[in-house]
Structure 1
Amino acid sequence: MSGDVAVLGAGMHPWGKWGRSFVEYGAAAARAALADAGLDWREVGSIVGAGTVRGGYPGHVAGAAFAKALGWQGARVTTVYAACASGAQAVAAARAQILAGLADVVLVVGADATPKGFFRPAGGDRPDDPDWLRFRLLGATNPAYFGLYARRRMAVHGDSLDDFARVKVKNAAMGALNPNARYRKPVTAEEVAASAVVADPLRLLDICATSDGGAALVLCSLDFARRRGAARPVRIRAVSTVTPRFPSTVLDLPDIATDSAAGADPGGETLRASIARTAYEEAGFGPADLSLAEVYDLSTALELQWYEDLGLCGEGEGAKLLREGVTAPGGRIPVNVSGGLASFGEAVPAQAIAQVCELTWQLRGAAGDRQVEGARVGITANQGLFGHGSAVVAVR
């Protein structure tokens, strides 16, 4: 049996700081996705919500919260949580239900309403949570963590501040063309360099913001898509949601002393590389087959790391790929043509779903001024809390 499911609809609530409930954003995105699919909510057999720890009890049962907002109609309900990988795991759950024959049509929804400033672990002290330990015992909040990562790339691979600025300039130019993006203004390298230092060597414009927003997808079986007249829909070909391999104790950081991958499996593979490998193996594609990629650019330096972990280039060659224009619009493999988190900020449960929305529009040829010519295969990539990682491969 084919592992493909069709993407019949995609919809978003624009990112920003709107000051309203995450349920409102998710319901708006869901209605947009249903309208895009040409379906009524009553035709949906199941809803999968990506949870948000900041949303209180409704956020912990996000699937039910969205179902209530849309109107009780008897749909099967599921909620998943994996921080930044939540959206991809929601897609995975929906796909499994369709392939198991539990539902023909599944609505996937993620939304968040975020506080000002960088994220803190929610729910009080969590001494068994490595992020809580990193924040509280080391003082290594996310910006500090990103700064250490950037500094290492400079030391080991020769990346420069100019390289990091190029990532922001590229993504901001795309975000300016995206009506769902929070930041819709092109940025120059000089403006990046002039922005405040947050965590040396990274400036304010090197680091993504926190945002409100929502995204939704209508997934269905291929048979249902054909019955509704979608002869050649965008299809989800693979969903990778993986964890590190024992005896991994460091989820993704390399061993600076030996310049080897600490916490890697015996083959020397990092968590991020294993996310990509698993997706490629399931999809039957490789890096050379990709038309575009949407990656988790929490910082400009981290986008360069994803180039390498997705196999777009060799280790240490991410900045060279960027300088040569390979990942820019019109290049061989454009990356973050949506504008990325640089233009959106983090609405955590929604962002992996939003990435698939972008792939859907690109593969349909419906992305307007952001369109990647001839797009046929796309991949998304995220790294979530406590070792969750995710990637989705979509094809047309």
Structure 2
Amino acid sequence: MHPWGKWGRSFVSYGTAAARAALADAGLEWSDVGSVVGADTMRCGYPGYVAGATFAQALGWQGARVTSVYAACASGAQAIGTARAQILAGLADVVLVVGADSTPKGFLAPAGGERPGDPDWLRFRVLGATNPAYFALYARRRMALYGDTAEDFARVKVKNAAAGALNPLARYRARVTAEEVAASAVVADPLRLLDICATSDGGAALVLSSMEFARRHGHPDPVRVRAVSTVSPTYPKAVLDLPDIATDSAAAVSPAPHAFRASIARAAYEEAGLGPEDLSLAEVYDLSTALELEWYEDIGLCAPGEGAKLLREGVTALGGRLPVNTSGGLGSFGEAVPAQAIAQVCELTWQLRGTAGDRQVQGARVGITANQGLFGHGSAVVAVR
């Protein structure tokens, strides 16, 4: 990975730095790579729209197959899925996956001009609902349905900041207290500044290969990708006569778990032949502190409405029975959209190798990542050792 921050440079520099670090970690040269898959960034002009070719050019044209993938916040995981498919199809033995972003300060507004057919654009334009407002609606829903409190949300930030303080790649490396969260400015009630993630620059990369190649090149027991889920939601239009902008699940009118995110994890578990009971750790998409609690339920760590209880008992903290966001999460990194799903898998890899330093989960064997993007994009990756 390239450290997250506000560096003011081209996304290409972050991505190529991460790519070279990944190749060095694998003991390979760029010339060994048969394919490069880039996760696209819509904010960085034409080079961002063709990220695979952009990174291949920056590393030096050498004839590798090139693919570019866009799936909003799930771009990195879809890039991993694409790379894995190429390997399983025999199109390449080694695939380099890269994602990076140079993100402007402030809210992530839709890119590309006026798009009245785009529900995300409409959310901003018609409702005035920026992302923090969207996050706040989730938080209020949890408070109404389950009795979650602002103090519970603050506990998520305290937990993740403690992990981020141990991660040299994180942007924010200071521990915080619940009192500091409560004293930070209100952004979208009930969420405060320290409840939501920032926007950041950063990059992440992975080298994927066939098992045979890995073993031939000195990696007899590599971390293995057991599943990549990129399913779309099942939208109950027969039950809810609402436009797409309103909701993507029955969760708006029922205390049942969010159907989209739960289906992302379910598809990953089914492919991997594993379940939440097998997990050693998880990396989930904490756009807000309240949303992390929702993920606990969606990936099956507890029943609906019990996420805050899990947190209060210390289960998801470093040293707990099932740590979540040992990297520090987006609260410690901020959003660098094409890179973040890849960065989640980087964290799983270090944890499963036993090389995560002071934030190491002892005996880690199975991990899952999960995130949600726009337009029905979402992803989960299961990795094992």
* CA–CA distance in structure 1, aligned partners of residues 262 and 139 of structure 2: 18
Which one-letter code corresponds to 2:278 in the other structure? Answer: D
Aligned to 1:5: none
Range 123-132 or range 242-251, more displaced: 242-251
Superposition deviation, residue 155 in structure 1: 1.0
From 204, 210, 215, the equivalent of 2:204 is 215
Residues 1:146 and 2:135 aligned together: yes
Superposition deviation, residue 252 in structure 1: 4.5
From 153, 157, 166, the equivalent of 2:146 is 157
Superposition deviation, residue 86 in structure 1: 0.1
Aligned to 1:134: 123
> In structure 2, do the counterparts of structure 1 residues 17 and 104 end up closer, same or farther at CA, with 3 Å as the change threshold?
same
Aligned to 2:54: 65
From 20, 28, 33, the equivalent of 2:22 is 33
Q: Deviations over 1:291-331 (max 9, x none)?
A: 00000000000000000000000000000000001101111
Residues 1:255 and 2:252 aligned together: yes
Aligned to 2:240: none
Q: Confirm or deny: 8 A CA contact 2:164 2:172 kept in the other structure.
A: yes
Q: Deviations over 1:122-180 (max 9, x none)?
A: 01111111111111100111011111111111111000111000000000011011011
Which one-letter code corresponds to 2:41 in the other structure? Answer: T
SS of aligned partner of 2:140: helix
After TM superposition, the structure 1 = structure 2 runs for residues 177-326 of structure 1, keeping only pairs within 5 Å, are 177-248=166-237, 249=244, 250-252=247-249, 254-256=251-253, 259-260=254-255, 270-326=259-315
Superposition deviation, residue 247 in structure 1: 3.9
RMSD: 1.0
What TM-score, normalized by structure 1, do the two folds share? 0.94
* CA–CA distance in structure 2, aligned partners of residues 152 and 247 of structure 1: 19
> In structure 2, do the counterparts of structure 1 residues 23 and 375 end up closer, same or farther at CA, with 3 Å as the change threshold?
same
Which one-letter code corresponds to 1:377 in the other structure? Answer: V
* CA–CA distance in structure 2, aligned partners of residues 358 and 76 of structure 1: 27
What TM-score, normalized by structure 2, do the two folds share? 0.96
After TM superposition, the structure 1 = structure 2 runs for residues 7-22 of structure 1, keeping only pairs within 5 Å, are 12-22=1-11
Which one-letter code corresponds to 1:66 in the other structure? Answer: F
Which one-letter code corresponds to 2:358 in the other structure? Answer: D
Residues 1:359 and 2:356 aligned together: no
Q: Confirm or deny: 8 A CA contact 2:145 2:255 kept in the other structure.
A: no
Superposition deviation, residue 332 in structure 1: 1.3
Superposition deviation, residue 260 in structure 1: 4.9
SS of aligned partner of 1:311: coil
SS of aligned partner of 1:254: helix
SS of aligned partner of 2:283: strand
* CA–CA distance in structure 1, aligned partners of residues 367 and 255 of structure 2: 30
Superposition deviation, residue 245 in structure 1: 2.0
Aligned to 2:38: 49
Aligned to 2:13: 24
* CA–CA distance in structure 2, aligned partners of residues 356 and 274 of structure 1: 20
Aligned residues: 377
Superposition deviation, residue 253 in structure 1: 6.7
Which one-letter code corresponds to 2:284 in the other structure? Answer: V
* CA–CA distance in structure 1, aligned partners of residues 109 and 235 of structure 2: 28
SS of aligned partner of 2:58: helix
> In structure 2, do the counterparts of structure 1 residues 253 and 169 end up closer, same or farther at CA, with 3 Å as the change threshold?
farther
* CA–CA distance in structure 2, aligned partners of residues 229 and 119 of structure 1: 42
* CA–CA distance in structure 2, aligned partners of residues 247 and 307 of structure 1: 23
* CA–CA distance in structure 1, aligned partners of residues 121 and 255 of structure 2: 26
Identity of aligned residues (%): 81
Flag structure 1 segments of 5+ consecutive residues without an equivalent.
Answer: 1-11, 262-267
Superposition deviation, residue 14 in structure 1: 0.3
Superposition deviation, residue 269 in structure 1: 6.5
* CA–CA distance in structure 1, aligned partners of residues 249 and 287 of structure 2: 15
Q: Confirm or deny: 8 A CA contact 1:252 1:272 kept in the other structure.
A: no
Which one-letter code corresponds to 1:330 in the other structure? Answer: G
